[in-house]
Amino acid sequence: MAVSAAGARARDLVSWFESNGGQKSLAVELAEDEQHAFHFRALSDVDSQESASKFKICSCPTTLSLSYLNIIPVGEKVLDGVSVRFCGGNLTPLWDVVPSHILSRFVLLEQTALKDHSFWAPYINALPTAFDTLMYFEPEDLKWLDGTNLDTFRNIRHSLWTSEYHLVMRALRERGIDSSQFSWDSYVWAASMYTSRGFDSTLVFPNLELDRFSVLYPFLDSLNHDSNARVDWDMKSDAFTLSTHETLKKGDEIFNNYGSKGNEELLAGYGFCIPKNPFEQVAVRLGGLIPPIKQIIRENHILDPKDMTEDDFGRDLYLRAPDCKLGRYDNHHSWLGGIPPLLFKVALGIYLYTTSRPENLRYDRLDAKPGRHIIGAVRQLLQVLEVRRQKIAGGAPTSEPANTRQHYARIYRNGQLSVVNCNIAELRKVLPQFVGERSTVLSPSSILTTRDAITQLETENPDAARAFVEGVNKVLVDPMNAAEMQAADCEDIVWVFWLTYAYVLTENNPPSKIHAWLRNLRAFYKFKLRDFDSGVEEAYVPPAYPFAAEKIAEVAGELGGAWTTCTERKDVIFWAAEVVQFEAWQVFVHEDDKNGGVEEERESRWVMYMDEEA
């Protein structure tokens, strides 16, 4: 029976590996799949439960490893007793000039150019010639990444690798060394080889005091990944041994376990994805927080001292789904379990930046009853997550994948979208999305529409409530008619009217529920009350203020009474407009409530959180 080209390469690799000190169990073989890629397969049954010890798959001596260590002159102290094969070559003068991870890739290229004259020729001949990693995505493939993190990451990686490539080419030219054998395409291939097959130097050579780089271990690097595989990596100074605790049947594929990697890392570095990956996460970068927000976070002890470095504010944070095997975050509330603590605390800091920050509130007590500051942070998070959800979902092609890269890209996108949707759903337990739904965290009466607020005013002061409804109806719409407010898109203005009117009525009156609500709001916005008679020009004016002030003046001219006091208190109108800007948010009316289940565009209502406790 004729041996395929891939079969011949596998045979040559095994022969070279074993003749140079590599060890392979007689119960395993190197096989090729339908795509002519290599993998390990069991030749007989292996019962790890009955075995007195774990089953050793193979062991690769460090003398077969390939990295920039192979061009460091023998005797250099940096090797610290590690035994690697010195291959010399034109790159040796650069060993302490070019970063190690970059030079390792050029070492592979130099050995590849030697063809059969290279010691590693049987290994290099068995390596894949192309990948499904990001750098191999064609323009049509890249469309499948639109709106995801990898859409941007691909450009970043391309720019980084380009600068790395030219760094070495320039160093070679400056030393008069021939660089014609190193093309850009070949560098992409070599770099992809190390991202997909390399092992971290800090793991395989923990005693070397060198910058981190990747190391290729021939033969051993042919095992595919399974996140559930129970394996042992035994790394010594002279060999890397891989063993498994799995029970195997004859013909089973034998897997390595690359670690707890989500699909973003797998697709970027390895060129594949796992459907419903149990380690899937969504990376969120805080970006550039302005100094005042960082100062608020520090001054209010929202973060522990160890979390207060600039690096913490700039690093990636990861959203997790409820079933993520990496576990839930400890945020004291189950509905925050998928949110990184630093991300939530930054959201809290952003909210506090817009308020007066009551002095009697402990912002580091996140395990307490959710108050206005916690609800404000949740709203901040929901805004961020909704934008992320729309971005990921909006970039999805409507066609079916045309190749493997597009297939994996769709798996990746769906996984990212699922994680974001899970976190939105959990936060919606606090702040429901639809009118009529109740929070599982807040009291049923704490999230109000304008109708709820007017009804409470009617309970406490019927005459004032009638005057309020009459005044709003004269200059805007009937505030008790949700359809009219939705059609005019003015419910946020009605809230400004109500807050101003209620403030004037209750400011000097005996305590009531409305008085308690406004006391809570004043605690967070006490410095937002502006004295317009002082002549101080305001650098910022809430968008709703000019229109609301004008319309309230019109009502006062016709009805007088409390409305006259309202128009005289422009500082209160300003305060109310700013409160609405930062405290009101939109929820939707259920379709079946409006149209008997007919699918139409959802209409929204503006609601506010009202709490009697400051």
Asked if residue 144 is part of any domain, the answer here is yes
- Look at residue 80 in the predicted model and tell me its pLDDT: 74
Angstrom distance (rounded) from CA 448 to CA 426: 21
Which sign does the torsion angle of CA 359, 360, 361, 363 carry? positive
- Look at residue 186 in the predicted model and tell me its pLDDT: 97
The answer on 469 and 577 residing in a single domain is yes
- Look at residue 305 in the predicted model and tell me its pLDDT: 47
Strands 38-42 and 253-254: antiparallel
- Look at residue 599 in the predicted model and tell me its pLDDT: 43
- Which of 75-89, 140-154, 222-236 has the weakest average pLDDT? 75-89
The answer on 157 and 116 residing in a single domain is yes
pLDDT confidence bin for 35, thresholds 50/70/90? low
- Look at residue 24 in the predicted model and tell me its pLDDT: 94
pLDDT digits (tens, 9 = 90+) for 273-315: 999 999 999 999 877 777 888 777 777 666 554 555 666 666 7
- Mean pLDDT calculated for residue range 146-162: 94
Show the beta-strand stretches assigned E in 444-539.
Answer: 447-449
Between 196 and 511, residue with greater pLDDT: 196
Angstrom distance (rounded) from CA 608 to CA 18: 72
Q: Which amino acid is at 164?
A: E
Residue 97: CATH number of its domain: 3.90.1410.10
Percent of the chain with pLDDT over 90: 60
Asked if residue 221 is part of any domain, the answer here is no
Angstrom distance (rounded) from CA 516 to CA 496: 18
Asked if residue 330 is part of any domain, the answer here is yes
- Look at residue 598 in the predicted model and tell me its pLDDT: 38
- Look at residue 504 in the predicted model and tell me its pLDDT: 94
Residue 148 has pLDDT above 90, yes or no: yes
Residue span of the structural domain in which 88 resides: 66-216
Q: Average pLDDT of the chain?
A: 87
The answer on 327 and 421 residing in a single domain is yes
Asked if residue 46 is part of any domain, the answer here is yes
Asked if residue 563 is part of any domain, the answer here is yes
The answer on 418 and 492 residing in a single domain is no
DSSP string covering 249-285, please?
A: -TTPEE-B---S--HHHHHHHTS---TT-TT-EEEEE
The answer on 411 and 345 residing in a single domain is yes
The answer on 488 and 561 residing in a single domain is yes
pLDDT digits (tens, 9 = 90+) for 433-483: 777 777 777 776 788 899 999 999 999 999 999 999 999 999 999 999 988
CA triple 439-443-445, angle to 5 deg: 100
The answer on 146 and 88 residing in a single domain is yes
pLDDT confidence bin for 192, thresholds 50/70/90? very high
The answer on 202 and 104 residing in a single domain is yes
Angstrom distance (rounded) from CA 343 to CA 346: 5
> Looking at the 3D structure of the chain, how many domains does it have?
4
pLDDT confidence bin for 522, thresholds 50/70/90? confident
- Look at residue 588 in the predicted model and tell me its pLDDT: 84
Contact (Cβ atoms closer than 8 angstroms) between residue 293 and residue 350: yes
- Look at residue 184 in the predicted model and tell me its pLDDT: 97
- Mean pLDDT calculated for residue range 493-502: 96
Asked if residue 588 is part of any domain, the answer here is yes
Of the residues 427, 461, 485, which one is the last residue of a structural domain?
Answer: 427
pLDDT confidence bin for 614, thresholds 50/70/90? very low
Phi, psi of 295 (to 5 degrees): -65, -40
pLDDT digits (tens, 9 = 90+) for 324-382: 999 999 887 888 899 998 888 888 888 888 887 666 666 556 555 667 888 888 999 99
Residue 132 has pLDDT above 50, yes or no: yes
